[in-house]
Chains A and B, each alone.
Chain A
Amino acid sequence: GAVVSQHPSWVICKSGTSVKIECRSLDFQATTMFWYRQFPKQSLMLMATSNEGSKATYEQGVEKDKFLINHASLTLSTLTVTSAHPEDSSFYICSAEEGAGTGELFFGEGSRLTVL
């Protein structure tokens, strides 16, 4: 099956700094990728839809200036958490669809962010 890779797997940063998380589709092209956030013991929550070559679409309640998404190529989307604070500490997961309209999403391994 298709492979989606995230980097880094975990990151610790100081409050006020920015952190970038990469999501790559390794063996397929993805015009659309999705970013999720998972709080401890809670469900995955869709944050935004990343569209190659255009602006991301954010879900209600997600600050677009806080969580910058860039989808510059068909195999790479990045999520940058700007001016991170402890409450941004979470598990971030991306997914991508192999082939438009197939409906099957492949997920990255996830990135755990800890903001001190």
Chain B
Amino acid sequence: AQRVTQPEKLLSVFKGAPVELKCNYSYSGSPELFWYVQYSRQRLQLLLRHISRESIKGFTADLNKGETSFHLKKPFAQEEDSAMYYCALSQGGSEKLVFGKGTKLTVNP
């Protein structure tokens, strides 16, 4: 069965510090991985997806099939990065998403 695990419910860092939000998945096929972000009082929105290999707002995420991980990283966190982050997985070619429980990131001044 597909499963997405985000081991940290809460993550707090200081402005300018590196940040890494962990995501591990279990899926037997070829998954497509995403990171979604929800800022305070806003709707969920796509941050990045592994197939695009883009860096959005300074965030990057590399799919590691050996470790079945898709950790989200940013070298220098900003206060405006404070939000709820969800890792999600879909079967290749399908739009059905399985979400992790989310990690609340707080970037302190």
Distance (whole angstroms) from the CB of A58 to the closest CB of chain B: 12
B43 near A97 with CB under 8 A, answer: no
A109 close to chain B: CB less than 8 A: yes
A42 near B46 with CB under 8 A, answer: no
B100: chain A residues within 8 A (beta carbon): 43
B99 near A105 with CB under 8 A, answer: no
- Interface 1/0s, chain B 67-93, versus A by CB < 8 A? 000000000000000000010001000
B43 near A107 with CB under 8 A, answer: yes
Q: Sorted from nearest, which 8 A-B pairs have the closest CB atoms?
A: A107-B44, A43-B101, A44-B99, A43-B99, A109-B43, A107-B43, A97-B95, A104-B46
Distance (whole angstroms) from the CB of A25 to the closest CB of chain B: 13
A61: chain B residues within 8 A (beta carbon): none
B43 near A32 with CB under 8 A, answer: no
A34 close to chain B: CB less than 8 A: yes
B95 near A46 with CB under 8 A, answer: no
The 6 listed contacts between A and B (C-beta, < 8 Å) are A41-B101, A44-B86, A103-B51, A104-B49, A106-B45, A107-B43
C-alpha spacing A107/B97, complex, angstroms: 12
Give chain A's interface residue range (CB within 8 Å of chain B).
20 to 34
B98 close to chain A: CB less than 8 A: yes
**Which residues in A have some Cβ–Cβ distance to B below 8 Å?**
1, 4, 32, 34, 36, 41-46, 49, 93, 95, 97, 103-110
B43 near A105 with CB under 8 A, answer: no
A42 near B44 with CB under 8 A, answer: no
C-alpha spacing A110/B98, complex, angstroms: 17
B20 close to chain A: CB less than 8 A: no
A105 near B101 with CB under 8 A, answer: no
B31 close to chain A: CB less than 8 A: no
B101 near A46 with CB under 8 A, answer: no
Q: Which of A34, A43, A44 contacts B95 (CB 8 A)?
A: A34
C-alpha spacing A45/B98, complex, angstroms: 7
B57: chain A residues within 8 A (beta carbon): none
B98 near A46 with CB under 8 A, answer: yes
A44: chain B residues within 8 A (beta carbon): 44, 86, 97, 99
